[in-house]
A and B are shown apart, each in its own frame.
Chain A
Amino acid sequence: MNAVAIESLSKQYPGGKQALSHIDITLKQGEVFGFLGPNGAGKTTTVKILNGILTPSEGSCRVLGTDPVKNPEKVHALSGVVTEHAQMYDNLTGLQNLVFYGSVFGLTASESERRANTLLEELELTEAKDRKLAAYSTGMRQRLSLARALIHQPKVLFLDEPTSGLDPESAQNVNHLIRRLAEEAGITVFLCTHQLRYAQEICTRYGLIDRGKLLASGSLEELRAETSSRIAVKIRASRIPELLPCRKIGEQEFEIEIQSEKEIPRIVRQIVEDGGDIYQVNPRQPSLEDIYFTLTSKQKEAEE
Chain B
Amino acid sequence: MKEAMRAIIKKDLKGITANKRLFSTLLIVPLVLTIVMPTIFILVIHFVPEETDDFQQLLKMLPMAKQTGDFSLTVIGLILNYILPVFFLMIPIMTASIMAASSFVGEKEKHTLETLLYCPLTLKQIFRSKVFASFLLSMIVSFFSFFTMLIVLEAEILFFTGNLVLPDVNWLVIMLLISPAISLIAITLIVRGSAKAQSVEESQQGAVFLILPIILLVVGQFTGILLISFWILLGLGIVCALLAWLLLKKSMGRFTYEMLLR
Contacts and interface: CB of A to CB of B under 8 A. Distances in A.
B is bound to A: yes
Interface of A: 51-55, 72-74, 76-77, 79, 81, 83, 85-91, 100-101, 103-106, 108, 148
B221 interface: no
Nearest to B114: A86
B119 A104 contact: yes
Q: Tell me which of B7, B111, B122 has the highest count of chain A C-beta atoms within 10 A of its own C-beta.
A: B7
Given A87-B110, A105-B4, A106-B3, A148 B121 contact: no
Q: Tell me which of A79, A85, A108 has the highest count of chain B C-beta atoms within 10 A of its own C-beta.
A: A85
A86 B256 contact: no
Summarize A's interface: helix, strand, loop or mixed. loop
Given A79-B118, A85-B114, A106-B3, 9 more contacts: A52-B257, A53-B118, A55-B258, A74-B120, A85-B111, A88-B112, A104-B4, A104-B8, A105-B120
5 contacts: A53-B258, A73-B122, A87-B115, A104-B4, A106-B2
Contacts of A72: 122, 257
Nearest to B262: A14
Given A53-B257, A54-B257, A91-B15, A103 B4 contact: yes
A148 B18 CA distance: 23
Contacts of B4: 103-106
Interface in B110-138: 110-112, 114-122
Contacts of A101: 115, 119
Contact of A105 (B114, B119, B258): B119
B46 interface: no
Contacts of A73: 119-122
A83 B114 contact: yes
Given A85-B111, A87-B110, A90-B110, A51 B118 contact: yes
Contacts of A106: 2-4, 120
Contacts of A83: 114
A101 B11 CA distance: 10
A100 B7 contact: yes
Contact of B111 (A76, A87, A105): A87
A177 to B, nearest CB: 20
Summarize B's interface: helix, strand, loop or mixed. helix
A235 B11 CA distance: 64
Contacts of B2: 106
Given A100-B7, A103-B4, A91 B18 contact: yes
Contacts, number: 72
Q: Which 10 A-B pairs have the closest CB atoms?
A: A77-B120, A103-B7, A86-B115, A87-B111, A104-B119, A86-B114, A76-B120, A53-B257, A104-B4, A73-B120
A100 B5 CA distance: 11
Q: Tell me which of B4, B6, B114, B118 has the highest count of chain A C-beta atoms within 10 A of its own C-beta.
A: B118
Contacts of A85: 111, 114
A88 B258 contact: no
Interface of B: 2-4, 6-8, 11, 15, 18, 110-112, 114-122, 256-258, 261
Nearest to B257: A53
Nearest to A78: B120
A53 B114 contact: yes
A104 B261 contact: no
Nearest to B108: A85
A295 B111 CA distance: 35
A132 to B, nearest CB: 11
A106 B18 CA distance: 24
B11 A76 contact: no
A76 B119 contact: yes
A106 B119 CA distance: 9
Contacts of B111: 85-87
B17 to A, nearest CB: 12
Contacts of A100: 7, 11
Nearest to A108: B3
A148 B116 CA distance: 11
B78 to A, nearest CB: 46
A152 to B, nearest CB: 8
A81 B118 contact: yes
Q: Tell me which of B2, B18, B114, B256 has the highest count of chain A C-beta atoms within 10 A of its own C-beta.
A: B114
A195 B15 CA distance: 38
Contacts of A86: 111-112, 114-115, 118
A108 to B, nearest CB: 8
A72 B261 CA distance: 15
Contacts of B11: 89, 100
A83 B111 CA distance: 11
Contacts of B119: 73, 76, 101, 104-105
A53 B18 CA distance: 31
B244 to A, nearest CB: 25
B21 to A, nearest CB: 14
A98 B138 CA distance: 28
Contacts of B7: 100, 103-104
Contacts of B120: 73-74, 76-77, 104-106
